């Protein structure tokens, strides 16, 4: 018997697909077994095949559709770019034990013999790991905007889509559908500030975005970095978060300090020193703006040294590219 699952989906896949079946939608979102079946009971024949069923799809005696998973290709609008290997292994083991779960939602590709995965790419990958030769499918037809909506909602309702993939998905949905943030929020069952905060993450430099995807920093740290009004301050704060393990609260406090006290490179030293030549200070500030990090110059316009701070291997690579350029 299918297990009853309580899940508050709001405007989710249920609303998008019009199934009205909470168990089915919960399975799509959470990869929860609903009706277990390891193999089709029997293959359909040409005599009972509907002319609307593409070649290569088998129909069992209960009318369920089955397809070789090798013919399934990712949804071009799939928002997820990262798939956790350990989680896929666990799902694969479950499939080996219980069989495939809820049918994978697919659409016939416009050309060729393949089918696009609209919802269920994790299940498809896990089924291949488990060695399945046939998986249950459900044929659907969506426009590009609806494909992205379905894939996005499937992922965000499982709550493990990384913040940058989620932000990019919201952005793509806005662009493809010419939608406002409020309209996107309504479509995916989120509040508008949630969409706005996610989109702000796209303003971060690529290496900081990668750190967020890789788990080096959290979304809270990312929001603290976005508080910085100056790029150099943002770089300094990023380095301290990664290098010193600053908490989100401390990172926010430091961002406020930077904004209230000027640029990180312009902080007053503890010891009093002679005022720096204004021309030298101007040069130092130009270095900061170009390098995007803390830069200090000691000496005079005629002779001295330059110290450039970096806070990670990626930051060093970025600075190297700025200074040396592409020599390939």
Task: Please answer whether residues 153 and 14 qualify as being in contact, where contact means their C-beta atoms are separated by less than 8 angstroms.
Answer: no
40 and 124: one domain?
yes
31 and 152: one domain?
yes
pLDDT at 313: 79
Q: How far apart are CA 140 and CA 256, in angstroms?
A: 51
pLDDT at 266: 47
**CATH number, domain with residue 123:** 3.90.1530.10
Which of 71-75, 126-130, 152-156 is most confident?
Answer: 126-130
At 274, the pLDDT band (50, 70, 90 cuts) reads low
In a domain, 221, yes or no: no
19 and 113: one domain?
yes
Given a cut of 80, is residue 101 above it in pLDDT? Answer: no
pTM above 0.75, yes or no: no
In a domain, 210, yes or no: no
Task: Please answer whether residues 209 and 164 qualify as being in contact, where contact means their C-beta atoms are separated by less than 8 angstroms.
Answer: yes
Q: How far apart are CA 19 and CA 17, in angstroms?
A: 6
Structure token pair of residue 326: 């592409």
pLDDT at 51: 58
276 burial class (0-12, 13-18, 19+ CB within 10 angstroms)? middle
25 and 103: one domain?
yes
Q: Which structural domain range is residue 183 located in?
A: 162-203
Residue with tokens 């200074």: 323
26 and 101: one domain?
yes
Q: Which residues are catalytic?
A: 121
58 and 131: one domain?
yes
45 and 84: one domain?
yes
């Amino acid at each position: 018997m299918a297990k009853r699952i309580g899940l508050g989906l709001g405007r989710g896949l249920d609303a998008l697909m019009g199934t009205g079946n909470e168990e089915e939608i919960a399975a799509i979102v959470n990869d929860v077994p609903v009706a277990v079946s390891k193999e089709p009971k029997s293959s359909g024949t040409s005599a009972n095949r509907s002319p609307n069923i593409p070649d290569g799809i088998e129909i069992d005696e209960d009318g369920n559709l089955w397809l070789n998973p090798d013919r399934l290709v990712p949804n071009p609008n799939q928002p997820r770019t990262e798939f956790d290997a350990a989680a896929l292994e666990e799902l694969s083991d479950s499939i080996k034990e219980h069989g495939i779960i809820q049918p994978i939602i697919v659409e016939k590709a416009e050309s060729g013999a393949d089918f696009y995965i609209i919802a269920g790419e994790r299940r498809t990958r896990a089924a291949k790991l488990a060695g399945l030769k046939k998986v249950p499918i459900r044929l659907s037809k969506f426009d590009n905007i609806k494909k992205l909506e379905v894939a996005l909602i499937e992922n965000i309702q499982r709550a493990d889509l990384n913040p940058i993939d989620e932000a990019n998905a919201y952005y793509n949905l806005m662009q493809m559908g010419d939608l406002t943030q409020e309209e996107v929020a309504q479509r995916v069952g989120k509040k508008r500030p949630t969409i706005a905060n996610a989109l702000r993450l796209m303003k971060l430099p690529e290496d900081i975005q990668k750190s967020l995807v890789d788990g080096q920093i959290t979304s809270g740290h990312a929001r603290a970095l976005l508080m910085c009004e100056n790029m150099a301050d943002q770089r300094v704060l990023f380095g301290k978060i990664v290098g010193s393990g600053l908490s989100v609260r401390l990172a926010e406090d430091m961002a406020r300090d930077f904004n209230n006290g000027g640029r990180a490179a312009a902080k007053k030293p503890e010891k009093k020193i002679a005022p720096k030549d204004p021309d030298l200070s101007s040069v130092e500030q130009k270095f900061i703006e170009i390098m995007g990090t803390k830069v200090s110059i000691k000496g005079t316009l005629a002779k001295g040294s330059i110290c450039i701070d970096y806070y990670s291997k990626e930051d060093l690579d970025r600075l190297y590219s700025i200074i040396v350029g592409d020599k390939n």
